[in-house]
Amino acid sequence: MSDPTRREIYARTPGGGVQLAASTDRWHLFDDHVHLAPHRGDDPRLRRFDAELMPFVDSLDRGALVVIDMQNDFCSPGGWTDASGLDYRACRAAIPGARRAVEAAHAHGMWVVWVYWSNRTDLRNLGAPTLYAFKHRPDQKGIGEPLGGGRVLTEGSWNAEMVDELRALMRDDDVRIEKVRMNGFVGTHLDQVLRTQGIGTLYFAGVNIDQCVATTMEEACFRDYNCVLLEDACATSSPDYCRQSVVFNAKQCWGFSTTTERFANPRPV
């Protein structure tokens, strides 16, 4: 029997909750958790995840792990972050958590989506604002310029490859999305891939948390994906207040924030 209140926003729900949105996009908000998939009440893959500001319930089948920019240019010695005088070691702090997240997602049977910079060699896909974001001084190496054995964040280069610790975990059936802006949705087919595979909930890992991770997560929220930040699977070479701001907004504005341990160990409903 269909639920007569499924189209009524702010309707009272069984159990004393409040409905947010309508039809299959609806959530049920309770005092102690949020149910992100009440239309899948008999789904054996429903799990309860501990998170802030609220625990949430969702189906493992609707989730995907999005791993952003865990590349040599950001996380390895001799890469772009290192050559620019920033602390690449701070970015490397995301590697253990990202490994745990990938292993957990694979164990859950979730899609793993690798989103990463891979610019054209002729740089015709980039405008001046994007180029300036990576080259603030004439003597600084920018996107596409020679650095070490390759070219900064350019397709086919060592610079654009995943760090060894994560590349070993990449599977043939994982999804790879090559991006050309900080926001992983701009100019890519990320949205089409997620929607055609029935993905509604995105778990975010990667670097830099305050730049490419934050802008992609914010865009996902604007497109009505359910967003979860995996705090200990993200890092940045920016000052710590930048990270704190993203964690705050993940909880308050864009969705939820949690840890890789909680992600790996949800409870059956």
pLDDT for 25: 87
pLDDT for 108: 98
Catalytic position from the list 61, 75, 82, 179:
179
CATH code of 189's domain: 3.40.50.850
The answer on 124 and 148 residing in a single domain is: yes
The answer to whether the beta carbons of residues 59 and 40 sit under 8 Å apart is yes
Residue type, 120: R
Residue 179 domain boundaries: 45-268
The answer on 123 and 25 residing in a single domain is: no
The answer on 111 and 3 residing in a single domain is: no
**Is residue 32 annotated as part of the catalytic site, yes or no?**
no
pLDDT, tens digit only, all 269 positions of the chain: 456 557 889 999 988 999 999 888 899 999 999 999 999 989 999 999 999 999 999 999 999 999 999 999 999 999 999 999 999 999 999 999 999 999 999 999 999 999 999 999 999 999 999 999 999 999 999 999 999 879 999 999 999 999 999 999 999 999 999 999 999 999 999 999 999 999 999 999 999 999 999 999 999 999 999 999 999 999 999 999 999 999 999 999 999 999 999 999 999 99
Catalytic position from the list 212, 227, 234, 251:
212
Q: Is the peptide bond before 208 cis (omega within 30 degrees of 0)?
A: yes
The answer on 219 and 107 residing in a single domain is: yes
Report pTM: 0.96
Q: What is the pLDDT of residues 154-171, one digit of tens each?
A: 999 999 999 999 999 999
The answer on 109 and 201 residing in a single domain is: yes
- Number of domains within the chain: 2
The answer on 110 and 25 residing in a single domain is: no
Burial of 269 (0-12, 13-18, 19+ CB in 10 A): middle
Catalytic position from the list 69, 73, 82, 210:
69
Print the SS3 string covering 227-249: EEEEEEEEECCCCHHHHHHHHHH
**Is residue 91 annotated as part of the catalytic site, yes or no?**
no
Angle between helical axes of 240-249 and 214-222 (0-180°, round to 10): 20
**Is residue 179 annotated as part of the catalytic site, yes or no?**
yes
The answer on 220 and 93 residing in a single domain is: yes
